[in-house]
Amino acid sequence: MDERDLSLSLSEEKEENTRAVDEKGIRDRPTWRKSLDFLVSAIGLNVGLANVWRFPYLCFKNGGGAFLIPYLLFTVMIAIPGHVLDISMGQRFRQGLVKSMAFAQIVLMIQFSISYPIILVWAVKYAVASFSTNLPWSTCHNDWNTANCVTPNDVKLNATELLGNGTAGNLSGKVSAAMKFWNLQVLQKSAGIEQIGSLVPDLSVYLLVVWIGLYFCTFKGIGWSSKIVYVTATLPFLFIFAILIRSLLLEGASEGIKFFLIPDPRKLLDPSVWVSAGSQVLFTNAVASGVLLTLSTFNDYHHNLWRYACTCSGYVYGG
């Protein structure tokens, strides 16, 4: 069989497979304009607030470099196979969320869709507050601060006194200005669960803005969303890069880099490190959540899934 006959045979096989799929009653669905659209969307699913917020926290809590070992191991063992399974199922059946997923997964996504916008609202709150001349979480002269508020400058002054003469003021019972801003201004926590409190006006407005933004990202279907993802997927990279540059310019940055890159073998004996790494892999990659499965239903039936499954899994850029 020459090259021309082989090409013709493969083409006929492809048409037969496509025809077989159509014969099984799987309706036509719109597809991504380019294969790169799906890749960018999948990367946007994995790189977001979790990389800026949750991953660095867990990495610091669980030994820095030691945390990366089980994290990368679970990425290879769980995330990549999970992505292959999600993408292959989505491409094969090309059906929507309700028809192709279990009821429990639908409930999970509804819960996620309700809770995650709240995190976005907090991010918007901090973004708006950051445009003020004096950052509200860096001072104790705000209306919500109490007598036990302390600023970073107060802590530095206390440490200087301790090094100079061996005495220092009492910082027990003090709460940082950043925590005061978080608890009393952002969350506005009540005394207990029995006290519901009232709506916070600015957070309510931010929540409305977030939901309006989500609507305009999806209201025209996949053709419009494939354009939006180039903005929503690249912005986290820019933010993380800005934080990286700022972090490298801080005092003691070299010590932090050593802590992040040089593992402590003793931490690997702690089961909680492995549990945290596994949960973070599942959280970051949204394994078996149905999101990637839904995105892949807009792929071409013969899309090369192996390359994208390996590319989208296991980002540690936020560390």
71 vs 303 pLDDT, higher one: 71
Q: How far apart are the first and last CA of the chain?
A: 53
DSSP 47: S
Indicate the range of 2-11, 60-69, 160-169 predicted with least confidence. 160-169
Query: Given this model, what pLDDT does residue 295 score?
Result: 81
Cα–Cα distance for residue pair 8/261, rounded to 1 Å: 52
Contact present, 59 and 67 (Cβ < 8 Å) = yes
CB distance 47 to 315 below 8 Å: yes
Cβ proximity of 297 and 86 under 8 Å: no
- The confidence score (pLDDT) of residue 22 equals 46
Q: Copy the structure tokens of residue 290.
A: 């149905």
The confidence score (pLDDT) of residue 212 equals: 92
245 exposure class (CB count in 10 Å sphere: 0-12, 13-18, 19+): exposed
Contact 274, 35 (CB under 8 A): no
Please give the Cα distance from 32 to 24 (Å, whole number): 22
* Residue 288 contacts residue 79 (beta carbons within 8 Å): no
User: φ and ψ at 63, to 5 degrees?
Assistant: 95, 15
Residue that is written with structure tokens 């929503």 in the block: 232
CB 280 within 8 A of CB 55: yes
Our separate counts of H helices and E strands in the chain read 17, 2
Long-range contacts of 133-137 (CB under 8 A, 24+ apart): 136/181, 136/185, 137/177, 137/178, 137/180, 137/181, 137/182
Distance CA 50, CA 116 (A): 11
Rounded Cα distance between 78 and 67, Å, is: 16
Mean pLDDT of 116-139: 87
Query: How many angstroms separate the CA atoms of 224 and 30, rounded?
Result: 11
Q: Tokens for 261?
A: 């890159």
Secondary structure letter of residue 53 according to DSSP: I
Q: Taking the model in full, what pTM does it have?
A: 0.71
pLDDT digits (tens, 9 = 90+) for 278-314: 888 888 777 777 778 888 888 877 777 777 766 665 4
Residue 205 has pLDDT above 90, yes or no: yes
pLDDT at res. 11: 55
Report CA 35 to chain centroid distance, whole Å. Answer: 22
- Partners of 149 in beta bridges: 175
How does DSSP assign 77-132, residue by residue?
A: IIIHHHHHHHHHHHHHH---HHHHS-HHHHHHHHHHHHHHHHHHHHHHHHHHHTTS
- Backbone torsions φ then ψ of 176, nearest 5 degrees: -65, 155
Per residue in 13-69, pLDDT (tens digit) is: 555 554 444 444 455 677 787 878 888 888 777 777 666 678 888 888 888 888 888
| Percentage of the residues of the chain whose pLDDT score is greater than 70 | 76
pLDDT at residue 166, as a whole number: 41
Q: How far is CA 243 from CA 63, 109, 143, 247, 318, in A?
A: 21, 30, 29, 6, 9
Q: Determine the distance from the C-alpha atom of residue 8 to the mean position of all C-alpha atoms in its chain, rounded to a whole number.
A: 45
Q: How confident is the model at residue 318 (pLDDT cuts 50, 70, 90)?
A: low
